[in-house]
Amino acid sequence: MITPGTALRSAVEYALPQLLRITSATASHATAPDKWCPKEIIGHLLDSANNNLARFVRLQSTDHLLFEPYAQEEWVSAQAYADADWSELVELWARYNRHIVRVMDLVPDEPRFRPRKEHCPLGSTYAPLPADDIPTLDWLMRDYVGHLKHHLRQIDAGLVV
């Protein structure tokens, strides 16, 4: 089975050159007034990386998967991603996720696969739960990769294999 780190590394390395070919003007254009433009999507993925890296580290030493949610719309707005330099956003996104790959690969099996009966409400998920429907840190990492791919597809379906 492919590890979350391997899946994330592949997704980033596949998408990176294609993202860098998108012009800043295209990356600044939202498909609808209530949708994020590609710059804001990558910004949201940076926010997700920031929040999830902390989770992946902290949750290794707990018996639960409880963590604070964050206000996604407010984070994207407060950081004005739509006005940011496209290539800098993309490079930061790639570098941050490469670091997350490193962290994922370092998580020992015991905390990675420990069932976490006490967990946050799962809401929308992007990875299938284990057979017993009890999430693990490994599941949370896989869900992170699925979430990243979901948002890359919003920019362009060709960004994900």
CATH 1.20.120.450 matches 4-159? yes
Q: What percent of the chain has pLDDT over 90?
A: 91
User: Residue 101: what pLDDT?
Assistant: 98
88 and 125 Cβ atoms separated by less than 8 Å = no
The per-residue pLDDT for range 88-147, each reduced to its tens digit, is: 999 999 999 999 999 999 999 999 999 999 999 888 899 998 889 899 999 999 999 999
49 and 100 Cβ atoms separated by less than 8 Å = yes
User: Residue 8: what pLDDT?
Assistant: 98
User: Residue 122: what pLDDT?
Assistant: 84
The per-residue pLDDT for range 35-63, each reduced to its tens digit, is: 999 999 999 999 999 999 999 999 999 99
Structure confidence at residue 11 as a pLDDT band (50, 70, 90)? very high
Domain locations in the chain as residue ranges:
4-159
Instruction: Indicate the pTM of the whole model.
Output: 0.96
User: Residue 83: what pLDDT?
Assistant: 97
User: φ and ψ at 23, to 5 degrees?
Assistant: -75, 155
Q: Is the dihedral of CA 101, 120, 133, 46 positive or negative?
A: negative
3-state secondary structure the chain: CCCHHHHHHHHHHHHHHHHHHCCHHHHCCCCCCCCCCHHHHHHHHHHHHHHHHHHHHHHHHCCCECCCCCCHHHHHHHCCHHHCCHHHHHHHHHHHHHHHHHHHHHCCHHHHHCCCCCECCCCCCCCCCCCCCCCCHHHHHHHHHHHHHHHHHHHCHHHCC
